[in-house]
Amino acid sequence: MSMIGAVWTTRIGGRRILLATVGLAALSAHAVAQDAALRGELPAADIQRRADGSATALSLPPYRPASAGAVPDEPDDGASLFPFEAEPEQAAAPAMPRRAATTRQERSDAQAARTEAPDAAAPAEPVVEPAQGRAQRVDALDEELNRRAEAENTRLDAIETGTIEQEENPYAPLGLRLGTFDATVTLDQGILWSSNINTTQQGGEAFVSQTELRLRAVSDWTSHSAEINAVGIFQKSVSGEDFKETELGIDGALAYELGRDTTVTATASYRIAPEAASSPIVLPATDDEPLNHEMSASLGVQRSFGRTSLGLTGSVEREVFSDLEGLCCGTVSQEDRNFTLSTLALRAGYEVSPAFTPFVEAEIGRRNYDLEQDTSGYRRSADRYALKGGAEIDLGEKIEGEVSIGWLRESFDDDRLVPVSALLLDGVLSWSPMRGTTLRLTGGTSVEGSTTAADSGSVLYTSRVELLREARPNLTLGLLGGISFRDYVNSSDTETTLSAEASSTWWMNRFAGINGRIRHERFDSTRPNRDYDESSIYLGLKLQR
């Protein structure tokens, strides 16, 4: 049977497409052959030959038997009327489903099986559409890639937010890097007016130039910590009473961790300053105030055993008093006042909670004077014993520190001197009731010697309350109140010092600010010619880095 058709080309979407039409005769021959097969008039082989000869290599939809026992068509050999492979964009799915192409050997085996048993119903092979299969595989691959990308690139927060985190204190010093330490340097230069510059009963007023230089360095080590502080204060009168004074000091602290439960601590300090007019020793009139050297060092180890902790600390304190130049009697030696105090303290504590740890501490020591006998013939070296109990408090930023109360006793080598026995009060406590506000309380007890015959000395109690308020990031306000009480051991004499101070610092920028303070101090003594009052005002420029 002849085949009538036409072939032409066209362009769609920029691609050249080859189109073909087949004559009705070929389609009719194929339909007739299939109808004959249904009626059983032609064998399957003749039907296939007629169909192949009529439609040549035209790909038509396969025949689907309508009833059991019918013989399906031969598998399509995949031949196409068009002698080229369609581009992926044009490989659209056929309108009717068709079976996948098989190999030639599989087609021969299937044809032989149908010839031997024409009435047996062959199972239908799965129909796969090429375009749909590729689309399914692409969709599955995309889904897998998206799932992996989401797992590896989990987005927790938005890249851009509406708020910018601000610096906690934009006026804090930038600091300097010194090895493994972060250091801060502060220079304060100003003018001080005092109503009683010499803090004596007959003192006069003066304007004084004051320069104060401070250095603070803190380590940034991973597991250990260290801190160093140094200060220098220089004062010289520019009008009024003649006055000149220098004070220098340096101290350091180290905490070294030996394992998880053991910590070694060490401290050291040195201070040199003129002796205060409120000293318990009455000094003769001098041209210049004598200098007092104070040195101290300590070494301790603390070990935790569960909730229980034990600590052993040894410390040494040294005081040296320089000679003075008296207006009436020349050079006066104060060597009989120089001493060294060595102590050993054992502390045991139990952690009731992370915020509260009560403890007890026992201390033994020895106070040795440089001279076995003073100028009055008394042997003032003494043995020291102390026992106290208290608690360590740690509530984070709210409350931190420790307070203790106990009893101390120093027994002299000379039986003519009455032993010093007194209440022992010590504490350092910081409390922050609100953000930007800090209240700090300090207190201590110390034993003071004497050079007066038959006088055992005195006990000095000191306490100080300091309130700091950051009103604005660049404005700090402060209030300070202090009280000290001196009790002479074998006498009814007492002395009290009261002080109050208000201060403020306004920072113009991160490097410069203006500070000022107003202070008043009053000293009352039951001993004659020792009372005084002193008021002062200070205004200065503070620089920091």
Q: What is the CA radius of gyration of the chain?
A: 51
Q: What phi and psi, each to the nearest 5 degrees, are found at residue 16?
A: -90, 125
Judgement on whether residues 427 and 524 belong to the same structural domain of the protein = yes
Domain boundary among 91, 115, 139: 115
**Domain boundary at 60, 91, 115, which?**
115
Q: In the structure, what pLDDT confidence band is assigned to residue 140 with cuts at 50, 70 and 90? A: confident
| Number of C-beta neighbours around residue 292 at 10 A | 18
Average pLDDT over residues 231-241: 95
Parent domain of 189: 183-544
CA diameter of the chain: 156
The b/e string for 183-192 (b: 16+ C-beta within 10 A; e otherwise) is bbbbebebeb
Average pLDDT over residues 209-213: 97
Q: Are residues 85 and 196 in the same domain?
A: no
pLDDT tens digits along 54-85: 444 444 445 455 444 444 444 444 444 444 44
Do 310 and 418 lie in a common domain? yes
From CA 412, how far away is CA 324, in angstroms rounded? Answer: 27
> What was the pLDDT predicted at 460?
96
Identify whether 394 is part of a domain: yes
pLDDT at 33: 47
Q: Decide if pLDDT at 112 tops 80.
A: no
pLDDT confidence band for 38 (50 / 70 / 90): very low
Tokens of 344: 């050993």
For residue 170, is it within any domain? no
Quickly state the pLDDT bin for 146 (edges 50, 70, 90): confident
DSSP per-residue codes, 444-459: EEEEE---STT---EE
Q: Name the 3-class secondary structure at 499.
A: strand
- Please give the pLDDT value at position 136: 65
Kindly state whether residue 78 falls inside one of the protein's structural domains. Answer: yes
Residue 508 has pLDDT above 90, yes or no: yes
Domain count across the chain: 2
Q: Is the pLDDT of residue 126 over 80?
A: no
CATH of residue 336:
2.40.170
Beta strand extents in 195-307 (DSSP E only): 206-219, 225-240, 244-257, 262-274, 291-305
Domain membership of residue 133 (yes or no) is no
Q: What is the mean pLDDT of residues 490-495?
A: 92
For 460-472, how does the pLDDT look when each residue is reduced to its tens digit (9 = 90+)?
A: 999 999 999 999 9
Same domain, 110 and 189: no
Q: Which tokens go with 187?
A: 């220079």
Q: Phi, psi (5° rounding) for residue 284?
A: -70, 165
Q: Residue 160 corresponds to which amino acid?
A: E
Residue 467 lies in a domain: yes
Q: Are residues 400 and 253 in the same domain?
A: yes
Half-sphere exposure of 395 (CA within 13 A, CB side): 10
Token couple for 59: 């790909």
Rounded distance between C-alpha atoms, residue 422 and residue 525, angstroms: 20
Contact 3, 23 (CB under 8 A): yes
Of 491, 492, 457, 464, residue with least CA distance to 480: 464
Are 188 and 211 within 8 A, CB to CB? Answer: yes
Q: Would residue 172 count as lying in a domain?
A: no
pLDDT at 109: 56
- Distances in whole angstroms, Cα of residue 298 to Cα of each of 310, 379, 461: 17, 27, 22
Predicted TM-score (pTM) of this structure = 0.69
Chosen domain end from 60, 94, 115: 115
Report the pLDDT value the prediction gives residue 13, as an integer from 0 to 100: 43
CA distances from 221 to 111, 172, 229, 257, 497 (A): 87, 21, 17, 11, 42
Q: Per this entry, what is the length of the chain?
A: 545
**Segment 152-200, tens digit of pLDDT:** 665 555 555 545 555 567 888 889 999 999 999 999 999 999 999 988 8
Whether 124 is covered by a domain: the verdict is: no
Tell me if 135 is assigned to some domain. Answer: no
Q: What is the predicted pLDDT for the residue at 525?
A: 94
Tell me, what's the pLDDT at 240? 92
- pLDDT classification of 111: cutoffs 50, 70, 90: low
Residue 348 CA, chain-centre distance (Å), reads 30
Residue-level pLDDT at 131: 55
Supply 202's token pair: 């007959």
Using the predicted structure, report yes or no on whether residue 296 has a pLDDT greater than 70.
yes
Burial of residue 140 (number of CB atoms within 10 Å: 0-12, 13-18, 19+): exposed
Q: Which DSSP symbol is given to 69?
A: T
Q: What is the pLDDT of residues 405-445, one digit of tens each?
A: 999 999 999 999 999 999 999 999 999 999 889 999 999 99
Residue 348, pLDDT above cutoff 60: yes
